[in-house]
Amino acid sequence: MGEYRENEKVFEEKFERLWSLLMTSAKIQVFTGAGVSTLSGIPDFRGKHGVYNSPWQGLPVETILSLDYFYEHPDVFYQWTEEVWYRLENYQPNIVHKTLALMEERGLLKDGVFTQNIDFLHQRAGSRKVYELHGSARHSLCTECNAFFDYEKIAPIVRRGEVPRCPSCGGLIKPDIVLYGECLPASVLRKAEIAFSQADLTLILGSSLTVYPAASLPRLTSYYGGKVVIVNADPTDQDGSAELIFRDLDQTFTAINEALRSIK
């Protein structure tokens, strides 16, 4: 966890600037990626130890998580997703999730959080406004009759090694997650475009900014004159437009949390 911690003096100087931005920005927007979830123990995708770095049973993970492959081999899809996507109760919200919920409670995040993550840890931490750009494992839909199923209904089936099917029509059940080959939800994408275009300050947290179109959203803040702060372990191709860059999410959000709680 301390691999990316910065020298305290350097960090404190940068944090003063960040705190000033947080206190003076009228409209703060947040964009979170897999790096936020790794603090809770959930493997990321493209980081140093990301699941995309090695095949699974000889298959690239991107292939397994494509829409076409899901329909052709739902058994393999659910075998891969079972270990993490259907054991999410084993993971707990971390300091980033908790601090963002506190920021919303204190009125700093009026438009909530836009996330690439599907693990619903933001909601469990107390965030009320969460917009899931890539969907969520919280619910699933029958691909035939569109019947709705919640996580608690589907997870035990998947953990038994079975492919979930609709009890009404027998149709294949799919998690409400955007797979490769699918478009992002249009309503959420449009809301995000407006929010990031209007932001005075955007916080990019734990995202490699390589998955489009979601990764293009923070660029709108810079384009329309707002400031961007990036907190991510590895460099991104948007670092050049950032006002501040931090590498350690835990260090940064522990400091934000402490500063917020010092204000009565």
Catalytic residue among 49, 73, 97, 134: 134
194-244 confidence digits (pLDDT tens): 999 999 999 999 999 988 888 899 999 999 999 999 999 999 999 999 999
Q: What is the pLDDT of residue 2?
A: 61
**Mean pLDDT calculated for residue range 65-92:** 95
β-bridge partners, 204: 31, 230
CA dihedral (256, 46, 226, 229) in degrees, to 10, reads 30
Burial of 214 (0-12, 13-18, 19+ CB in 10 A): buried
Confidence of residue 1 (pLDDT cuts 50, 70, 90): very low
Confidence of residue 250 (pLDDT cuts 50, 70, 90): very high
Q: What is the pLDDT of residue 45?
A: 58
The radius of gyration computed from the CA coordinates of the chain, to the nearest angstrom, equals 19
Q: What is the pLDDT of residue 196?
A: 97
Q: Does the pLDDT value for residue 53 go beyond 70?
A: no
**Mean pLDDT calculated for residue range 245-259:** 97
% pLDDT > 70, the chain:
94
Nearest to 80 by CA among 56, 50, 49: 56
Confidence of residue 150 (pLDDT cuts 50, 70, 90): very high
Residue with tokens 């300050």: 201
% pLDDT > 90, the chain:
84
Q: What pTM value is reported for the model?
A: 0.92
- Judge contact between 78 and 163, C-beta under 8 A: yes
122 is catalytic: no
